[in-house]
Amino acid sequence: MWNEEKDQNRWQMKFILPEHNEALRQLHLAKQKIDRPVLSEEQVGEFEFVISSAVSEDLPLDFEVYDDGFVREVSGRVVYVDHLRKEFRVKDNRGDTNFVKFADLINVKNAPSG
CA distance 114 to 111: 9
Q: Does one domain contain both 102 and 83?
A: yes
Q: Write the pLDDT tens digit of every residue in 29-63.
A: 777 788 888 889 999 899 999 999 999 999 999 99
Q: Does one domain contain both 70 and 95?
A: yes
Number of domain units in the chain: 2
Binned at pLDDT 50, 70 and 90, residue 12 comes out as low
SS3 content of the chain, % helix, strand, coil (to 5): 40, 30, 30
Q: Does one domain contain both 90 and 45?
A: yes
The CATH number of the domain holding residue 102 is 2.30.30.520
CA distance 92 to 33: 26
Binned at pLDDT 50, 70 and 90, residue 3 comes out as low
CA distance 112 to 17: 46
